[in-house]
């Protein structure tokens, strides 16, 4: 595709339910990032994938959060037993390489609301 | 705490004026990048400056980097109402590949 695609655009879920957020990076991009942004705040790093290397999961806020990247392409961020404080916009970005001096391209995000 | 911290948090100017935003960071970096965000959704890359560069220009944008002070500035000249957005700096640390963002500066350009 032409850019990073995230789905769904918006998700409303009940507290305690699990949610899956999807990210389709730009074809050929080996690095993929997930961030979380609360209203009016900066971007909180969650996790990044680089090729076949072990992902950097150091930003995941709790063990309710997990992410996968299958076949080096599509990534899914899963939040189990959602809480109200999980409400935020979840942003995905990809870049040609996480090591070299390349820019990151962002999707439009998934706005998650936990009620 | 965030690697990058922008200053000021909010800036309001008149169309035609210049806007300057600053960013400070804590660790050694490979590069520093500036992004723009409209309406709380996806970010758009503006400019990247490498750690061995001191100044870079792109259209009405001018970025400086002072690695001794661990700071950068973004200057937008002859601002337009359409420049109204949030601006974030992001750093790529030498010790890893994480791209870390600051809290951002909300710029409002009044017509």
Residue A107 forms contact with B (CB below 8 Å)? yes
Using the predicted structure, report yes or no on whether residue A1 has a pLDDT greater than 80: no
CB contact under 8 A, B30 and A101: yes
Using the predicted structure, report yes or no on whether residue A99 has a pLDDT greater than 70: no
- What is the b/e burial string over B68-102, where b = at least 16 CB atoms within 10 angstroms of the residue's CB? eebbbbbebeebeeebbbbbbbbbbbeebbbbbbb
| Closest-CA residue of chain B to A92 | B42
CB contact under 8 A, B88 and A43: yes
What pairs with residue B45 in β-bridges? B35
Residue A55 forms contact with B (CB below 8 Å)? no
Taking the CA atoms of B7, B20, B85 and B55 in sequence, report the sign of the dihedral they define: negative
DSSP B28-87: -EEEEEEEEESTTS-EEEEEEEETT-SEEEETTEEEEEETTTTEEEEEE-S--GGG-EEE
Query: Mean pLDDT in chain B?
Result: 91
CB contact under 8 A, B50 and A101: yes
CB contact under 8 A, A45 and B104: no
pLDDT band at A105 (very low <50, low <70, confident <90, very high): very high
At B6-58, the pLDDT tens digits run: 888 999 999 999 999 999 999 899 899 999 999 767 899 999 999 999 999 99
Q: Please report the beta strands in A8-63, taking only residues with DSSP state E, as ranges in sequence order.
A: 10-13, 19-24, 31-37, 44-50
DSSP B86-104: EEEEEEEETTS--EEE---
Query: How close A106 comes to chain B (CA, Å)?
Result: 5
Using the predicted structure, report yes or no on whether residue A108 has a pLDDT greater than 90: yes
Query: How close B48 comes to chain A (CA, Å)?
Result: 7
User: Tokens for A46?
Assistant: 């969650």
| Closest-CA residue of chain A to B46 | A103
CB contact under 8 A, B99 and A45: yes
- HSE, side-chain direction, 13 A CA sphere, residue B44: 8
pLDDT at residue B4, rounded to an integer: 67
Other beta carbons within 10 Å of B35: 25
* Chain B contacts in chain A segment 30-49 (CB below 8 A): 31, 33, 35, 37, 39, 41-43, 45, 48
Q: How far is it, in rounded angstroms, from Cα B74 to Cα A56?
A: 29
User: Tokens for A106?
Assistant: 């962002």
| Closest-CA residue of chain A to B1 | A44
Per DSSP, A85 falls in state: G
pLDDT at residue B19, rounded to an integer: 97
Query: How close B17 comes to chain A (CA, Å)?
Result: 25
CB contact under 8 A, B40 and A104: no
At A16-75, the pLDDT tens digits run: 999 999 999 999 999 999 999 998 888 999 999 988 888 999 999 999 999 999 887 999
- What is the b/e burial string over A78-112, where b = at least 16 CB atoms within 10 angstroms of the residue's CB? ebeebeeebbbbbbbbbbbebbeebbbbbbbbbbb
Q: How far is it, in rounded angstroms, from Cα A115 to Cα A72?
A: 33
pLDDT at residue A29, rounded to an integer: 92
CB contact at 8 A, B46 and B36: yes
Residue A25 forms contact with B (CB below 8 Å)? no
């Amino acid at each position: 595709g032409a850019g990073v695609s995230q789905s769904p655009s918006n998700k409303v879920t009940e507290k305690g339910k699990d949610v899956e957020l999807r990210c389709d990076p730009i074809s050929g991009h080996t690095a993929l990032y997930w961030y979380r942004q609360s209203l009016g705040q900066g971007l909180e790093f969650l996790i990044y994938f680089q090729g076949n290397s072990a992902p950097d999961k150091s930003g995941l806020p709790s063990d309710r959060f997990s992410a996968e990247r299958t076949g080096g392409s599509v990534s899914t961020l899963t939040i189990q037993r959602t809480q109200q404080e999980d409400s935020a916009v979840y942003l995905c970005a990809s870049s040609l390489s996480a090591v070299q001096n390349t820019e990151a391209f962002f999707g439009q995000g998934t706005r998650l609301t936990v009620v | 705490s965030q690697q990058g911290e922008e200053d000021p948090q909010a800036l309001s100017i008149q169309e035609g004026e210049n806007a300057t935003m600053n960013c400070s960071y804590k660790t050694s970096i490979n590069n520093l990048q500036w992004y723009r965000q409209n309406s709380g959704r996806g970010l758009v890359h503006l400019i990247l400056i490498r750690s061995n560069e001191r100044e870079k220009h792109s259209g009405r944008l001018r970025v400086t980097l002072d690695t001794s002070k661990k700071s950068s500035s973004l200057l937008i000249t002859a601002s337009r109402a359409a420049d109204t957005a949030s601006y974030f700096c992001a750093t790529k640390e030498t010790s890893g590949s994480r791209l870390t963002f600051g809290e951002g500066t909300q710029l409002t350009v009044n017509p």
